[in-house]
Structure 1
Amino acid sequence: MAEPRIAGEVFGRLPDGRAVQRVTLRGQGGFEARIINFGAALQALIMPDAKGGCEDVTLGYDELAGYVTERKFFGATVGRYANRIANAQFSLDGATVQLEANNGPNALHGGPNGFDRKLWDIADIADGAEPAVTLSYVSAHGEENYPGRLEVRLTYRVTGPAELSMEFVARADRSTILNLTNHSFFNLEGATSGLNTLDHRLTLTSDHFLAIDPTAIPLPGPPHPVAGTPFDFRVATPVGARIRDSHEQLRNGKGYDHNFCFAPDGALKLAARLEAPRSGRVLELLTDQPGLQVYSGNYLDGSVLGKGGKLYRQSDAICLEPQVWPNSPNRPDFPSPLLKPDSVYRHRTVYRFGVRT
């Protein structure tokens, strides 16, 4: 009998006594994805290196208490609206929707009590050649002041020897906006290695990025060409090669915290490739989303005690967040985040891991 490629356990309990489950999906060669239903988060991702040694390559916590007491978005599912909405408001069907500002004047990552703070239901578990877990959450009309009752399903599935796919599907009972993403912090040298990601080599298949103001809201006008700027990663370049250049956009973002733009055609395409020089690990990210927020861990300040008792510091990880462009509800020139009651929101992202040959 083949060894099961899926396992479950209680990861901890919330203050109100509800159990948080952790489901482990196994690939080959030691590859594992561990998902918890608090925040529908990718709690750990175990990946072999070039010599066959396996380590967790995502930042986070060893125990549930860290996820509950500190809102750092480690591995979390972010919604209803990932990233920022300017002045915490937008117009929909002729009415102004006022959100709660939780990032200076802006609304960030769904507000103070977004999807990353919710206990999702485990809707389905499937063993076999492609082990999978499906999580679901129903967001009530008016939750965080977003309109519409929203039903969301997220399936994590191992779709290759060392490949994890995520598929979001959502429906609403009235017009609303929606922008979901996974907010994993990657360090391909290992979450407890003590090494930062400034020498990770990053490739982005994007010719344009969104310039931002000091509050991280995209500036008026079209996307900016990456050519001739520190934002040109069309050829593999260390993350830290130009991060301290004297460039207004690096000052505004305190490093990289910018959206890179892709054709909004709904096709699954390679958006990013990340390589770690010591371990030889490689991550390829494919997505059907029109944007990829690249965040270089600028606000990790040594105050968070993470996995293995390590303090997380600036640039200890990099986030690659597929999504609709920031502030799209207020920018008719951007890809639309509108979800109508007669339509279905779909988002697919694939993390494909390997080693440098």
Structure 2
Amino acid sequence: MKKLAFLFLIAAVACQQPAKKEEALYTKADFESSIDGKQTTLYTLENANGMKVTLTNYGAKIVSIMVPDRKGELADVALGFRSIEEYQTLDAGQGAVVGPYANRIANAQFELNGEVYQLEVNNHNANLHSGTQSFYRQVYDAQEIKTEDGPAVEMTLLSPDGASGFPGNKEVTVTYTLTENNELKIDYQATTDKATHFNLTNHVYFNLKGEGNGDILDHIVVIDADSTTEVLTNELIPTGKIMSIKGTDMDFTIPHPVGERIDSEMHALAVAGGYDHNYILNKDQEDGEMTFCASVYEPESGRYMEVFTTEPAVQFYTGNFLDGTLTGRSGKIYEHRYGLCLETQHYPDSPNHPHFPSTVLEPGDTLNSTTIYKFSVKE
């Protein structure tokens, strides 16, 4: 893999101290329910370093990610809730696999092979994250498996032709693997019997201080991207133009705290109310090579997260719409900018911009995509 040592100014070291036991905030029973006639439950992945990840097959969601700080103290760095009922009623997108199409599609429609497909309008005049009943509200079939890289949970969803407005009988498999290198690896695979658009991602919110423990404005971010898809209004629909961000307040090719420039008068930041943009990674946009995408460092805890992906871009989002109306798993309120997302993806509104990297999946082809979130600490 190229660029895996990209701009790391301080060496990251894996935490060697034994992690201290955390207090359980929920049990497996809190995630056992029946939704649309299918059983939901909770799965747990653990490694020898004390890292633990919990998952539910409702929306293929990451429920929690427990990682140690430089003192070996564990904290849950993923925002979320303590029961299936809360995920149903509060915010089903937290930690969820988003699909079949993540991000925005202008005017909630696209044309494919001469046919116009109308989608749900759920964000201004657009379709966002495939609508309110998309993959993140579906129950996957799931099983625990062993892989060469570590323990894993494999989740499979059959999405019928026309579901959420998208053509094709679609089969999607999402596999979460926890490695001994403190990597949470997400492998996506999809097939269809009719040409359709796919753009799969995970919508996990991170706070490396621990969920609910303040905002993310002091988190130091690097993103290996020199350009973005231009947006001009708060609808955040790409104009189709690729815009350089080198040297601007959106440039994270060298480390910057999130809050240093977030309230900039730069037009793209002003209309979005902070960072909520598609960063085009500095890589071949078509070959699907695994490369460094981004990193996040939280100075107080020493927690450090690196992101690697085969995807061509990443949506960097700074919790601009968190407004204090959600109470998280530990009973703490999620205030404005209490979490950030790094959603690896193809570009927003690609179905309506033929010059963007294609998101069309044809019958007989298989979509394969991998994203890795790797955790360590800096001393």
Output the TM-score relative to the length of structure 2. 0.89
Corresponding residue for 2:377? 355
Matched, 1:70 2:70: no
C-alpha change, 1:176 and 1:127, in structure 2 (3 Å) is closer
**SS of 2:168 mapped into structure 1:** coil
Corresponding residue for 1:5? none
Paired residues of 1:203 and 1:237 also in contact (CA < 8 A) = yes
Matched, 1:226 2:245: yes
Q: Deviations over 1:14-44 (max 9, x none)?
A: 4667532111111232101111000000000
Matched, 1:168 2:188: yes
Amino acid at match of 1:203: V
CA distance in 1, matches of 2:144, 2:157: 13
Per the TM alignment, residue 126 of structure 1 is displaced from its structure 2 partner at its CA by 2.6
Corresponding residue for 1:199? 218
**SS of 1:207 mapped into structure 2:** strand
Per the TM alignment, residue 72 of structure 1 is displaced from its structure 2 partner at its CA by 4.8
CA distance in 1, matches of 2:276, 2:246: 18
Matched, 1:245 2:267: no
Amino acid at match of 1:78: V
Where in structure 1 are there 5+ consecutive unaligned residues? 1-7
Corresponding residue for 1:283? 305
C-alpha change, 1:140 and 1:51, in structure 2 (3 Å) is same
Q: 2:276 aligns with which of 239, 249, 257?
A: 257
Q: Deviations over 1:118-142 (max 9, x none)?
A: 0111145337861011000000001
Paired residues of 1:209 and 1:231 also in contact (CA < 8 A) = no
Paired residues of 1:217 and 1:327 also in contact (CA < 8 A) = yes
**For residues 199-348 of structure 1, what are the structure 2 equivalents within 5 Å?**
199-212=218-231, 213-221=233-241, 223-262=242-281, 263-264=284-285, 265-348=287-370
CA distance in 1, matches of 2:178, 2:320: 31
Q: 1:184 aligns with which of 182, 204, 214?
A: 204
CA distance in 1, matches of 2:109, 2:93: 22
Paired residues of 2:59 and 2:139 also in contact (CA < 8 A) = yes
CA distance in 2, matches of 1:246, 1:118: 40
**SS of 2:325 mapped into structure 1:** strand
Corresponding residue for 1:133? 153
> Once superposed, which parts of structure 1, at least 4 consecutive aligned residues long, lie more than 3 Å away?
14-19
Corresponding residue for 2:68? 48
CA distance in 2, matches of 1:123, 1:30: 22
Amino acid at match of 2:126: N
Amino acid at match of 2:178: V
Where in structure 2 are there 5+ consecutive unaligned residues? 1-26
Paired residues of 2:76 and 2:210 also in contact (CA < 8 A) = yes
Amino acid at match of 1:207: D
CA distance in 2, matches of 1:230, 1:311: 29
Q: 2:110 aligns with which of 90, 99, 105?
A: 90
CA distance in 1, matches of 2:246, 2:88: 42
Per the TM alignment, residue 240 of structure 1 is displaced from its structure 2 partner at its CA by 0.6
CA distance in 2, matches of 1:229, 1:110: 31
Report sequence identity in percent. 38
C-alpha change, 1:128 and 1:259, in structure 2 (3 Å) is closer
CA distance in 1, matches of 2:70, 2:210: 13
Paired residues of 1:28 and 1:161 also in contact (CA < 8 A) = no
Work out the number of aligned pairs and report it.
348
Amino acid at match of 1:216: L
From the two aligned structures, give the one with the greater strand fraction.
1
Amino acid at match of 2:345: Q
Per the TM alignment, residue 211 of structure 1 is displaced from its structure 2 partner at its CA by 2.1
Amino acid at match of 2:114: G
Q: Deviations over 1:194-240 (max 9, x none)?
A: x210000000011111221320101232x211112111100110001
Output the TM-score relative to the length of structure 1. 0.94
